[in-house]
Structure 1
Amino acid sequence: MQIQNNVEKINFPCGIRNFPDITDKISNGRSTYEFEFPWIVAIFKNSSIEKHEFISSGTLIHPRLILTAAHIFDNYVDSNSAEEISIIDKYKNNLYVRSGDYDLSNTKESKGHQINIIDEIIIHPHFNRSISLYDNDIAILYLRDNFTFDYNVQSICLPPENAIFNNKNCFTAGWGKNGRKKLGKYQNILQVTETPVIEINECKKRIYQYEKINRKNNKNSFLPINNDSVICAGGKFNKNPCKGDNGSPLFCPIDNSINQYYQVGVVSDASNCNLEIPTFFTNIAFFRPWIDFIVTDAFNLKIDFYKYFLDEIEEDLTPTYQPKKYNF
């Protein structure tokens, strides 16, 4: 598949948080300000003319590409193919993305949201929920048209390959539920909370101890096989993603940069909502070579929209995606 790109680079640096002068704490979670994080998008299913169902979230990495979690699309795709996953016929033209959103119940925001149909879903070739709940849980959505970048529609920065964020104070944001099971309600206004990153072995130890005591699951069902493919964060009450936050970003401030963020993870597990145990996220730094490969080789697009300008020089942008080397 080779898709030509005619979009010009618009002068919006990646990963910008609007309202940089706001100093209120995010640590306990709060509603975001209007268009505070302009790279977070909402994914919907159009079930009928009048029914539009919120599915999950994702992030803009290019005017035509969304980064999200693979497991979200288990029921919407024909998984018999390999990397290029076909959308099941009854869902074609019915899966779409809204960018520039803040309040999902409001269609009269100060800057209107944009809508775009999902034309293709690229799921990591080694994603297999029956083998591991978390490994390789990453997908890229190709949209029918480019989104128009503006104050409320921009792209997120992605970290360099193998970057480490242990012990960083990072954040998650989404429209998911505010509590477990029937106690929680989906949120109309985008919510954000502080979500500190935890070293992976400590994280797995805490999760295993909790699961062994409280759920008595087989340990292979809830721990990742490849430590490098996940990043772990949260673990404090009210600091974990909940149902509906799948695909949402885990993002961290970029060192030595004012008001710019890397997306370091994608919510892969929202089952620990309101529990004092950490949550697994897909590790974006580990999958950066695969993302670059899909963007440049499959779609013939540029990575400039998610590249932080100090990370790499133009001459060194040849994708390094090598399945054997990275065990993808």
Structure 2
Amino acid sequence: MNKKGLLFATLMSLVALLHADLKCGTSKINFEPRIIGGHVVPNHAYPWMAFLVNTFNTTEGITRRNYCGATLIDKQWLLTAVHCLDRFTDNRTFLHGVALLGTNDVSKLGRNPKSISINYGPKDVFIHNDSTRIHNYIINDVAMIKLPEPLKLDEIKNYVKPICLQEPGVKINAKNCYVAGWGRVYAEEGGLGQKILLSTRVPFVKLPECKKTFPYVTEKEVCAGSSTHSACAGDSGGPLQCTNKKDGSWTMVGIASQGRDCKLTTYTRILYYLEWINNIRKNNP
């Protein structure tokens, strides 16, 4: 091979490596995660995880905050749950929020040089128009947050990277699905949840069995969890993620929506909302 050919081959190899680094759903940290029943997630093992702090103002003039998870799906968009931004209950107004990416330790908010703290306001939040609450069960519990500026993923690919979304035809390994979050580890526990990201493997539960706990659940949701491994309060909005059978990449199957006593949890099913997600991104470039 001549020098020009060798140079071209080298450049193509570098381009291939760059694209591999930027591929969604990949992590440079390999671990076996073992939330309820959860184990600590090594830093940057789930580089798409985001921690949300949302601030509201009530009609009484009282400032309230809630804490949720979210998932980076591309360089400028986060997916989360509607109820993280609007509880449907008391009269309150969303004021602003902060998203923390690039770290599993939220106690170091603003003090970790590799973490990214991003402010967003009402104009950056997109809530599903048909989201509502029926007998204390949330329907269409999906929302998106547009980051004010696109992330420079090529510069931060070692610790911030988007997850893949499940699309039609994509087969996932149903025995290798995990939920991750900073929520409580016991149902009766108070407080703000954990400071370190936890993750646990969760089993799927079929719809007829799920309906015994959540009568209003439909095919638009997926149920997962058990009495020992589940999401809990504070994990809402985070991903239910499984490995892709074809290439092993992490694929987002659902958004943590609502649970019962930190056991069985329903997740907004990504497949049913792909069109809505893509339309929001297309119409708000």
Taking structure 2 as the reference length, the TM-score comes to 0.78
Give 3-state SS (helix, strand or coil) of 2:71's partner: strand
Secondary structure at the aligned position of 1:168 is classed as: strand
1:95 and 2:82 equivalent?
A: no
CA distance in 2, matches of 1:186, 1:146: 29
Alignment of 1:96-175 (within 5 A): 96-106=98-108, 107-109=110-112, 111-118=114-121, 119-130=123-134, 133-149=137-153, 150=156, 151-161=158-168, 167-175=174-182
Does 243-252 or 139-148 show the bigger shift?
139-148
Contact map agreement 2:171 2:245 (CA 8 A) in 1:
no
Provide the rounded CA distance (Å) in 1 between the counterparts of 2:160 and 2:47: 5
Q: Which residue of 2 aligns with 1:195?
A: 202
Distance in 2, Cα, partners of 1:233 & 1:75: 23
Match runs of 1:1-328 below 5 Å: 12-20=22-30, 22=31, 24=32, 26=34, 28-45=37-54, 55-74=67-86, 88=93, 91=95, 94-106=96-108, 107-109=110-112, 111-118=114-121, 119-130=123-134, 133-149=137-153, 150=156, 151-161=158-168, 167-182=174-189, 186-205=193-212, 207=213, 222-224=214-216, 227-237=218-228, 239-258=229-248, 260-273=249-262, 275=263, 278-296=264-282, 298-300=283-285
Query: In structure 2, do the counterparts of structure 1 residues 257 and 188 end up closer, same or farther at CA, with 3 Å as the change threshold?
Result: same
Measured in 1, the distance between the counterparts of 2:250 and 2:219 equals: 21
Contact 1:71 1:129 in 2 (8 A): no
Partners of 2:56 and 2:275 in 1: CA distance? 35
Matched residues, number: 256
Q: SS where residue 268 of structure 1 aligns?
A: strand
Q: AA paired with 1:140?
A: M
Give, in angstroms, the shift of residue 295 of structure 1. Answer: 1.4
Q: Distance in 1 between matches of 2:56 and 2:131?
A: 27
Are the equivalent residues in 2 in contact too, given 1:137–1:268 (CA < 8 A)? yes
SS at match of 1:269: strand
Kept after mapping to 1: 8 A contact 2:52/2:97: yes
Cα gap change, 1:112 to 1:182, in 2 (>3 Å): closer
* Distance apart, 1:75 and its partner CA: 5.1
What are the ranges of 5 or more consecutive residues in structure 2 without an aligned counterpart?
Answer: 1-18, 58-62
1-side partners of 2:65 and 2:20: how far apart? 31
Aligned-residue offset at 1:148? 3.0
CA deviation string 1:109-146 (max 9, x = no partner): 46233323244221111111146613211011122222
| Partners of 2:172 and 2:243 within 8 A in 1 | no
- Seen in structure 2, the aligned counterparts of structure 1 residues 70 and 161 have a Cα distance that, compared at 3 Å, is farther
State the shift of 1:31 in Å. 0.5
Is the contact between residue 116 and residue 145 of structure 1 (CA under 8 Å) also seen in structure 2? no
* Residues 288-311 of structure 1: per-residue CA shift (max 9 Å, x gap): 121112111x213xxxxxxxxxxx
Q: Give, in angstroms, the shift of residue 11 of structure 1.
A: 5.3
What does the per-residue CA deviation read over 1:175-199, in whole Å, with 9 as the maximum and x for residues that have no partner?
A: 0111123457611010000012222
Please report the TM-score for the alignment, with normalisation by the length of structure 1: 0.69
Root mean square deviation, CA, Å:
3.2
